[in-house]
Amino acid sequence: MKRWDVVVVLVALAVAGGLYFSGLLRADTPGGVAVVYVNGVEKARLSLLQDTEYRVETEHGYNIVVVKDGKAEIIDADCPDKICVNHKPISFRKESITCLPHKVVVEIEGGNENSVDAVVQ
C-alpha cells in the first residue's frame, strides 16, 4: 500500500463516521409517519415521534392503533382472527400491518428504510 492509499482510506472512514454520528446513517434514527387507511382511503397520519393512540371505526368493526417509542402497532381489534393484533410493531418505511376483515392498513411513510429484505422462520 502506498501513502496515498492510506490517506484515502482514513478520509473515507472519517466521512463515514461523521455521517453515522450525525444520524444520517443510523437505523435507529426516529422519523416518519404511520398512515392509517380504511378501504384505501387515508383516515389519519400519526407521527412516530409522538406517542399517541387512534381508534379506527369501520362498518365492520374497530381497531386501536398505538404509536409508542417510534413504532406503530395495532393493540386491539374486534376481528375474529386478530392477526393484526399479533403483528410485530412497525417503524421502517414501507412496512405495514393489515386487518383484512376491517379493510384497515397501517403503513409507514418517510423515516428510514429497512435494510432487511426478508425474514424466514
Q: What is the pLDDT of residue 41?
A: 95
Compute the distance between CA of residue 94 and CA of residue 10 in angstroms, rounded to an integer: 35
Contact 34, 42 (CB under 8 A): no
pLDDT exceeding 90 applies to what percent of the chain?
A: 62
What is this structure's pTM? Answer: 0.68
Please compute the mean of the pLDDT values over residues 23-47 and round it to a whole number.
80
pLDDT band at 107 (very low <50, low <70, confident <90, very high): very high
- Reported in sequence order, the residue ranges of the chain that DSSP labels E, i.e. its strands, are 33-38, 41-47, 52-57, 62-68, 71-77, 96-99, 104-109
Q: Which residues contact 68 (CB under 8 A, 6 or more apart)?
A: 51, 89
